[in-house]
Amino acid sequence: MTDQSSQDRVLIFDTTLRDGEQSPGATMSHDEKLEIAEMLDDMGVDIIEAGFPIASEGDFRAVSEIAERSKDSVICGLARANAKDIDRCWEAVRGAERPRIHTFIGTSPLHRQIPNLTMDEMADLIHDTVSHARNLCDNVQWSPMDATRTEWDYLCRVIEIAIKAGATTINIPDTVGYTAPEESASLIRRLIETVPGAGEVVFATHCHNDLGMATANALAAVAGGARQIECTINGLGERAGNTALEEVVMALKVRNDIMPWRTAIDTTKIMAISRRVATVSGFPVQFNKAIVGKNAFAHESGIHQDGMLKNPENFEIMRPEDIGLAASSLPLGKHSGRAALRDKLENLGFDVGDNQLKDIFVRFKELADRKKEVFDDDLIALMRVGEDAANDRLKLKTLAVTCGTGGPAEAKIAMEIDGKEKTATMTGDGPVDASFRAVRALYPNTAHLELYQVHAVTEGTDAQATVSVRLEEGGNIATGQSADTDTVVASVKAYIHALNRLLVRRGKLGQDEKEISYKDVG
């Protein structure tokens, strides 16, 4: 067996809180960002890109507090190529035990047109801004955005400039997910061989998944000499997302025979943070997602089940326990007590306090009264929608729906809006349409419904339905989720959840006055 202690370390740079949060509708609250940062730190992530401090006051506050609370991880902030951004970034991260400034500029022909700079003007700007960052912080990362579509000679030139100006990490972003694995490995290898001073810095890779090759490209870059992988939990990110942390980490662990590099990640914490990020971002994990998907360790065909019973290694190349997934056990029922519920939740990766357990237990009992058996997935859904809604301006009180083949559906709804209860009755093309119309009658809004999605959590006619609703209003996007054995109730709760998130988003923009839109670094 290979001795991992003697192998090269690959640094894991997580950008869930920056690039991941740029997914339309994935905005996280301040407390949620702090919680995710703590989980990333605890699982052994080397560098946490906590946000883009100049983007808004909210981003600045989150990065600052994450920096102050950090334990082992380097805390990094993003800054564009100007002194104002870099100063603001330093102000946010300087409280960390190990701070980093990450500055970038687009170097490809297409991206050079954005600031309208010549090659020489951009080269001078790179020298000046990297030097400015290094004068503030001894840990500076520089990225040539859209590096994979930048002319070879120019890419070598600007990387050399950045290294001489004091950059300690050079990140090579595949900003639009354009490259392929062989190209990814070759590009890193050639840069290390060609650029003066390349041997004195860490080369990083940041891959997007537009062609479905982000993980393959990241691992290929490591084979080419990169020693830092930029990634996100669940592959969250703009468009098709980023390299998924769980995929590269488990690939290096499972196939260490052909990829002899090690990370510091505690893989048993992967499942817990995957579920938490899915909850706070409002982006559920697809069932067949590698490593963390619901079906990743499911075996349905007779041949596979027979093989699993004889030897799990027949069809499993890793154990569920490796990622913190507890072996399935007996479901709970309405006679189960608090101790059994706590034990089950802990096995599922949820750490709950006494007060939180009381609230969850009440909702568990309500669910158990409606379902004969409460399975693991039911509890996960319960936890996902069990966030404290004490500060929500909009709350569902009661809902009664009449529908069938005899005419239009009718929904009578009671809501609490800013502490006052109001009722409305509306008809519509089906119970969900009627219910959404009733919500709009009580709380008029111009939000456009971009996504309405229903999934059955478990099997059977008494299964909970998990509903996701995505709304867009004035360029702001918010996703709401809820679960209930009544699909219409789950739908209305998810719709109201999304409206509440829009209200929070709208309030943030009003407080911060502006939001930086050009903040993608690939």
DSSP secondary structure string, 326-375? PPP-PPB-TT--HHHHHHHHHHTT----HHHHHHHHHHHHHHHHH-S-B-
Three-state helix/strand/coil letters over 143-186: EEECHHHCCHHHHHHHHHHHHHHCCCEEEEEECCCCCCHHHHHH
Distances (CA, A) of 275 to 39, 157, 463, 469: 12, 43, 20, 18
Side by side, which strands form the sheet with 448-456?
448-456, 465-473, 476-484
- Give the span between the Cα atoms of 120 and 103, in whole angstroms: 18
> Known binding site for Mn(2+): residues?
19, 206, 208, 242
- Give the span between the Cα atoms of 134 and 440, in whole angstroms: 53
Contacts (Cβ under 8 Å, ≥6 apart) of 504: 29, 478
**176, 145 contact by CB (below 8 A):** no
Nearest CA to 23 among 389, 284, 250, 291?
284
User: How do strand 448-456 and strand 465-473 relate by DSSP bridges?
Assistant: antiparallel
252-270: burial string, b at 16+ Cβ within 10 Å, e else: bbeeeeebebbbebebebb
> Known binding site: residues?
19, 206, 208, 242
The angle at the Cα of 43, spanning 288 to 379, to the nearest 5 degrees, equals: 50
The 3-state DSSP class for residue 290 equals coil
**345, 378 contact by CB (below 8 A):** no
Contacts (Cβ under 8 Å, ≥6 apart) of 352: 342, 345, 346, 360
User: In this structure, what DSSP letter does residue 457 have?
Assistant: S
**220, 181 contact by CB (below 8 A):** yes
DSSP secondary structure string, 232-252? BGGG--STT-B-BHHHHHHHH
**395, 416 contact by CB (below 8 A):** yes
Q: How many helices (H) and strands (E) does the chain have?
A: 16, 16
DSSP lists the bridge partners of residue 170 as 142, 203
Nearest CA to 159 among 173, 143, 135, 174?
143
